[in-house]
Amino acid sequence: MTIRMLRMFEVLCVGMALLGSCAGENGGSGPGTGMEASSRHQILQRRQGAQPIQLVPSAQFSATTLRVASSEELDGMEQALETYQAAFENLSLPQVRQVWPTLDRRRETAFKEVFEVFRETSWTRKLGLTCATPMIGGETARVECEETLAYGAVKSKPTELGPERVAIVLRRQSSNWIVEDMKAR
């Protein structure tokens, strides 16, 4: 690898670590880099009829009984996560801010740096999220996910970062769901 490519990979890994990914690099055994919306798989597992659980207090949740999300809530959360994926793949910070309005300056800078690497290289990219069934407490939901990033030159086998475990906190905002926080686990 050239020094420029090493620097780009470093920025990509540091930026993705701040965003919740980059556990390791896999030489391309992951998914393709196509970004068609119709090829997306369902992000959230849907488990109806599960029993509420008692949550240990944390910054986002006080000691409360959680419940499994309804089908309608799951649809809204799925839409928020798909919007986040599309914003990332489109390299659009305004779209990221739309679904993650509380995005802090450190993460915003990481997005800018990662997006710049993709623009400089013309690499394709596909952000993958596979998430467990979200648990809801009040207007907030917590979901455990695995995140991967497949990227590479258009006609080459993609390189894959991840999967990395991330905890995503979603918040209901009127009739929509938005990202409140995202942390590597």
Q: What are phi and psi of 87, to 5 degrees?
A: -60, -45
Structural domains for the chain: 3-184 (3.10.450.50)
Full-model pTM: 0.76
Q: Tell me, what amino acid is at 30?
A: G
How many angstroms separate the CA atoms of 45 and 154, rounded? 31
Q: What are the mean pLDDT values of the chain's consecutive 10-residue runs (185 residues total)?
A: 55 60 44 39 63 44 71 93 96 97 93 91 91 92 93 88 92 94 90
pLDDT at res. 18: 57
pLDDT at res. 175: 87
pLDDT at res. 13: 64
pLDDT at res. 102: 95
Structure token pair of residue 148: 């991967």
pLDDT at res. 95: 97
pLDDT at res. 34: 39
pLDDT at res. 35: 36
3-state secondary structure of 149: strand
Q: What are phi and psi of 147, to 5 degrees?
A: -115, 135
pLDDT at res. 66: 84
